[in-house]
Every structure is written in structure tokens, then in C-alpha cells.
Structure 1
Amino acid sequence: MQAALTGLNHDQLATLMDEWGQPKFRVTQVLDWIWKKKVTSIEEMTNLPAALRDKLAETHRLDALEHSTTQGSADTTRKFLFKLHDGRYVESVLIPANPALYGEKSDRRTLCVSSQVGCAYGCKFCASGLAGFSRNLEPSEIAGQVLMAERLSGERVDNLVFMGMGEPFANFDRLMAAIEIITAPWGLHLGARHLTISTSGLVPQIQKLAEHPQQIRLAISLHGATDEVRDKIMPVNRKWNTEKLFEALNYWNSRKKQHLTLEYILIEDINDDLEQARILASHAQKLKAKVNLIPYNTVDGLDWVRPSEDQCRAFRDVLKNAGVSATLRLEKGHDIDAACGQLRLKQETEEGIIEAPVKG
């Protein structure tokens, strides 16, 4: 399979052009066509010599993704399903202005980006891992989701959250290679402060990102304030329990200025009692963290239930009364299978790539 041009950084493309005997300015021209003008074919790169376009087409694909499906919802949230070269699928969700998301202003568009096909971490409430882990996404497949979303929507993506399919920190090196492309002036030129990586709690990578020079934001998929609760729904907690996790987050705070975000999906009779809220408030106070509460998004094949809206608001109020910055995200896109991995799961099940998940 040909390599995708969307996976090459400036230096890699410069090396290629040099090997082909091309002048240095060709690097800028090619990158400009891909990331600024967002062309859909190499043939559209009209200021390149025909011979160079032919050679690029012979040796490289332009994109690593093929658009398969777009689902839109009444609130204008859009989910994109992309087909990969090996016949597998990955999805991204474009979320319109939402003042409840990380406290940002309401004139933004956020893209939720996937980092893996499936997931090996097996969080009990999540659709991404129902069929297990298949493979890591390449930098071209990660950065390509952003490029494709901008092409398809005709809109500039203002924020990225790496909390789609997969555990981003389990694909750390490829993720950071994609982030180089996304943030570079020659690439999509999106500021690092507009990027948030969400992890289920991989302690070594939290520490590694804390030492990275870019001011990338960090969100923790906590979903349980105690080991007892977290052990029930997040297998990662058995390796890196809350004590180890919070040690890593304290280290993060010693190196970074951005406030942490604690993500907390509310699941009825699992983690939504008000004692969990009080313990969560204590953790958030010590970490100076924001809390993002998300009522559970129903997933086919799983028996979990979202709490009542009154219970969700009561949980939030415990946090707010303790002085914690907390938002209750009555999420957009519930009518388009917006929980991570659902659209991909349906498509791959229909094609016989994976077996339908069984409840229980």
C-alpha cells in the first residue's frame, strides 16, 4: 500500500524532494496544496510540473482515509465514518458551538478524533472496545481526520479532542507525530492549547506529556472517584490505581499551567451516588481541576442506563457547592449514535468484519 502524503512532515517531504532532485521550494508548494488549499487529488497541484505530479501519484496516495458516511443531527452535530486502506473503519465527530465543553466560548467547532481501530482497555461502558483492539492509527490517519472534516464541512475546526475511538496514550508516538503535522505552520496550524488529549489513566504517558514542550491540554477519563467504583468499569485501574494516577496528575500540575479536566460519565446505580460526588469534589479541589459531567450515552449491546436529569443535576450541584468548576454536558448528537465507536461498530458488523456484541 502506498504511503499517504498526509503522513509526511516537512523534513520527510524535504528528504523525498531532495532524493528526486527537486528544488527546495517544491516542499512548500506540496504542503500548501495539502493543508492550506485542501485539494482532493495530486492532479490538482497545478503549479507542480506534470512529471512531478505523475511521480507523486505513482508512489503516494494523497489521503489515508476514504469518506464513507456522514450522519447529521437536529442540533447540527455531525459524525463522519471513514474507511481505511485495510477495510476497517474509524469515526470522528464534529461538535458545534457548546459553551459547556471545557468552559470555552460558544463560537467554536470541536472535532473528536480517534487514535486506534477499537481499543484494548475495555472500559465497560464504551462501544470502542466491544470488538476488541485491531490496530493503531498512523499519523496520516489521525491528522487526516481533521483535514477530511474540514473538507466535508467547509468549516475551520477550532479545537481537537483526542477522545474518540481508542486510548490515545497507547499510540503515543504516532499521536505526537500527527500533532506535529496538525500544529505546524506548514500544516493545519492549530495552536497546541486548542488540543486536548484524553486518557483512561496511562501514568507513564501522562508524565511523558507533562515534559513535552507544547502546551497541550490533558483530560482524564476518571468515571469513578474511588478504586472500588473504578475497578468495576475501568480495567486500567488495576494497573494504575487512583493513588498512582493522582501522583502523576500532581506531577503534571508541577510542570504545566493548564488546568486538568476530569471527565466523568454518569451511569445509573454505578457511579452516580452523591457520596461519589463528594469524593470527586475533594479530588478536584486538590488537583485544581475542572469536572466535565456527561450523562451516559446509550450503546447497543450494553445494559448501562443514564441517570435521571434530576440526579445528574444533584451530582453536579454537590461539586459546585464545594467550589469546583463543574459542567453538566447534556451532550449533542445522542440521536446519531455519538458514543465513541457506535457507527463504526454497526458498519463493521453489517459487513461481517466483526461479530455483533452480545449483552451480558
Structure 2
Amino acid sequence: MSATDVMTPSKLKPMPVSQPVELAPKPSLIGLTREEMGAALKEKGVADKQIKMRVSQLWNWIYVRGVSDFDAMVNVSKDMREMLKTHFTIARPEIVEEQVSNDGTRKWLLRFPPRGAGRPVEIEAVYIPEEGRGTLCISSQVGCSLTCSFCHTGTQRLVRNLTAEEILSQLLLARDRLGDFPDREAPQGTVMPAEGRKVSNIVMMGMGEPLYNFDSVKTALLIASDGDGLSLSKRRITLSTSGVVPEIYRTGDEIGVMLAISLHAVRDDLRDMLVPINKKYPLKELMDACRAYPGLSNARRITFEYVMLKGVNDSLEDAKGLIQLLKGVPAKINLIPFNPWPGTNYQCSDWEQIEKFADFINSAGYASPIRTPRGRDILAACGQLKSESERMRKTERLAFEAMMIANHGED
């Protein structure tokens, strides 16, 4: 979709949804490390000499075969399956709503059961199909504490961190819905890459700041990249942060996935306003952490995300400052046309200005693709995610749709 493409309110396709999960669920085996899974089995009476074999069986069924029912584990004894059903779960979260954009982007509103004395919580995950690849955008928190002024998610208060199970469950559920596990068929109407895996890439760019939930994100991503399970290459996993500097160092050392920085400004005074965490970790500290990220090369670059805001950060002087800021860092700059949401005071830069900005950066030797807006009509684009508990009322949705038609025209 180009900037001149018409955006119209989405036509939502009715899709079957999963059955609601229990209000007080059993502990899940999803998201446990092998050591944790072995300890859980031992606690329920599995003999020491069987632990390694049983963990290997479960790992394969959960992450290679993608089953969500212990009865499907046909090479596990009936007694063992009954024990597992009694004490554990591998169920998926409830799908509250599934929306399909006019461009094929798919958004799920997912509900997770209470944790402890808490309430059920809801988050959103987004699948973006493209020719030759499919990217799943995963959330790490319910809400967000960073209050970036241009981001819809930032207007929802932080409720809690997601567990490793809840982070991984978004990937498992997406692969379920897309027919991406062995011997499964995709639902009708799904737009997917022509060949290969439907979910070939994952990005920690959904709701929340991943590095404020470091331990759970680390566990989930190491399981996602485990060669005997989901087996996603670490080069196909990107973690995006607004700049939690100490955890950037840990990410490089302990996780080793690709890094993206939600940058959006090249001066501290402006970034303090757009991305308030900059007051704690200013640009110099952020760039020092980026330069120290392990394994940087022209083939393994840091992605810098830069939302284009009209009259705010889109001048050629800003482009010159960006080149100076990134000097010496193997980098790609993703230019993101601002995605509107109800109540925002920002506007997207004019397309001509975005192209001038991109051309200037390209001429300096940096790749600067302009990100194609995807899923705007279902509020699934970058910066638009917000869970059902904070979702628009009908009047707000109608106002949003009217704004989109006014900005982009009608069919």
C-alpha cells in the first residue's frame, strides 16, 4: 500500500473463536525452560530416570507439533496423559476478537486468565503477511508505562507484565490460526506468504516495553529460537526498545536477537517530549549502548525506527542530525508514516516530505525504507495497539473512520 492508496473502514470477517479458558487455570507447561519443566514433572511423581525423556516428548509435542491437548500426544502413555491433564495445561488464550484488514493484516484481541488475585487481562497481537515472509508482532506487557506522546498504546496505563507463557502463547496461537503447524490447514480467507512458514519472523513491537519485562521476554525468545522446538533463527527475531540502556547490554549478551531502537528524534529536548524515557537515558548513553551491541556488521545492523510527524521531526535538518547521530553504527532507518488514532494531536508528514527525508538519508549511505502502513483500518498499525478494556466506544470508532475517509478519500 502506498501513501496514495485509499483507506476505508475495515470489513471485518466473521471468524471462529476459541473456547474461553478456565477462570482459575492450572499451571501451564508453555514458557517453562527444560529444567523448569523437568522439576514440575518430578514434583508430580515422574521418576528421575524418565524426566529427560518426558521433557523431550513434551517439548516436541508443544513446540514442533503445536498441540494444545494432552490427549493428542499419542506416544505418551494414557496414565501419563491423565496425570498431565490433572495438574497442567497447554491451552491457548481466549480469542475475544479476530479482525482482518483490507490489506490482509490480521489482529487478535486475546484474553488471558487471572494471575493470583488479579483480573483477566487483554492484549493485542498482529500478523502481517507479505510475499515470501510473514511477521508476527508480539506484545510483552498489558498496557505501557512509557507514555510516548505519539503512541496509542502509551495512553493505556500499565496493568502488568506478561509471563513467558503469555508471550509464547501469542506465537503458538498465531501458528494455530494460520495453519503453520504440521498436518494443519489454515482458515479460509487467510492471506499468507506463497511458500514456507507463515510466521517466519517475530518482532517484539506490540504493547509494552520489552526490556521492562526482561526475564520473561528472555525466556520466551530463547524458547522461540530453540533448534529442537519452534526453531526461529535469532536473525528473524527483532526486539524493539525505546531505550532502556542497561537492558540493551543484557539483550546483546543474554538473548542475542536483532535490535531495533524506537528513536523518533535526534535532539534530547525533542526526544524528551516524544519518548520520555530519554530523560533517564539520553541519546549519548543510548548510542553508546548501540555501538557496543555484539556482532554488529553490515549484515547484522541495528534498525532505528523513526515515526514521521508533520512539522515536528521531519525537516532536512533533522535528517542531517540523524546521519550524524548514527555515524559509525551499522544501521537501517525505518521511516514510519504516523498512524493516526482518536484523540491524537499529531499529523503524518506529507508524503513528498517523507520521500525527501528518505532520499537524503539514502544518499548518505543508509538504507531508509518507508514502512508501508498495514492494518490502519483495524487499528493494527505501528503505535495503534490498545486492548479491549481500553478500546474505543462506538462513537469514537465512527469518528476515527470519518477521519480516515477525510484524510484518504473514499472508494
Partner of 1:142: 167
TM-score by length of 2: 0.79
- The corresponding residue for 1:174 is 216
Quick check: 1:88 aligned with 2:121?
yes
Q: Are residue 26 (structure 1) and residue 54 (structure 2) matched?
A: yes
Q: Distance in 1 between matches of 2:31 and 2:285?
A: 35
Q: What is the aligned partner in structure 2 of residue 103 from structure 1?
A: none
- Rounded to whole Å, the distance in 2 between the matches of 1:181 and 1:145 is 13
> 1:60 aligns to what?
88
Unaligned runs of 5+ in 1: 98-105
User: Is residue 315 from structure 1 mapped to residue 357 from structure 2 by the alignment?
Assistant: yes
Cα displacement (A) at 1:82: 0.9
Q: Which residue of 1 aligns with 2:158?
A: 133
Q: What SS is found at the alignment partner of 1:224?
A: coil
Partners of 2:207 and 2:385 within 8 A in 1: no
Structure 1 residue 250 and structure 2 residue 291: aligned? yes
Give the AA of the match of 1:77.
Answer: T
User: Higher mean Cα deviation, 44-53 or 288-297?
Assistant: 44-53
CA-CA distance at 1:230 after TM superposition: 0.7
Call closer, same or farther: CA 1:181–1:210 in 2, change over 3 Å.
Answer: closer
d(CA) in 2 for partners of 1:21 and 1:231?
Answer: 54
- 8 Å CA contact 1:285, 1:324 repeated in 2: no
User: Cα offset for 1:121?
Assistant: 0.9
Match in the other structure for 1:4: 28
> Aligned equivalents of 2:211 and 2:391: distance in 1?
30
Residue 389 of structure 2: SS of its match in structure 1?
A: helix
Change (3 A) 1:89 1:341: farther
CA distance in 1, matches of 2:384, 2:112: 17
1:297 to 300, 316, 339: 339
- The alignment partner of 2:109 has SS state of strand
Cα distance in 1, alignment partners of residues 260 and 174 from structure 2? 23
- Mapped to 2, the partners of 1:351 and 1:329 lie a distance apart of 26
Is there any run of 5+ residues in structure 2 with no aligned partner, and where?
1-23, 115-119, 181-196, 398-411
* CA distance in structure 1 between the aligned counterparts of 2:81 and 2:134, rounded to whole angstroms: 34
Name 2:249's counterpart in structure 1: 207
Residue 371 (structure 2) pairs with residue 338 (structure 1): no
Instruction: State the distance in 1 between where 2:386 and 2:277 align.
Output: 23
Pick aligned residue for 1:277 from 307, 319, 327: 319
Aligned to 2:208, the other structure's residue is in SS state coil
Q: 1:344 to 1:46 in 2, by over 3 A?
A: farther
Task: Determine if contact 2:68/2:92 at 8 Å carries over to the other structure.
Answer: no
Q: Is this contact kept in 2: 1:40–1:62, CA < 8 A?
A: yes
Return the letter of the residue paired with 2:113. Answer: H
Q: Tell me if the contact between 1:126 and 1:339 (Cα under 8 Å) persists in the aligned partners.
A: no
1:197 aligns with 2:225: no
For 2:70, the equivalent position in structure 1 comes to 42
TM-score normalised by structure 1 residue count: 0.89
Change (3 A) 1:178 1:250: same
Q: CA deviation at 1:236?
A: 0.4
* C-alpha separation in 2, matches of 1:350 and 1:335: 15
Q: 8 Å contact 1:4–1:64 — kept in the other structure?
A: no
Give 3-state SS (helix, strand or coil) of 2:314's partner: coil
CA spacing shift, 1:220–1:343, aligned 2, 3 Å = closer
Identity between Structure 1 and Structure 2 (%): 36
Q: Which residue is equivalent to 1:16?
A: 40
1:218 to 246, 253, 259: 259
Aligned length: 342
2:267 maps to 1:234: no
Does 84-93 or 291-300 show the bigger shift?
A: 84-93
Q: 1:243 to 1:350 in 2, by over 3 A?
A: closer
**TM-aligned CA distance change 1:79 to 1:342, over 3 Å:** same
CA RMSD of aligned residues (A): 2.1
Contact 1:122 1:129 in 2 (8 A): yes
What are the within-5 Å matches in structure 2 for residues 69-108 of structure 1? 69-86=97-114, 87-97=120-130, 106-108=131-133
CA–CA separation in structure 1 for the residues paired with 2:220 and 2:91: 14
Q: 1:82 touches 1:89 (CA, 8 Å); kept in 2?
A: yes
1:223: how far off?
A: 0.4
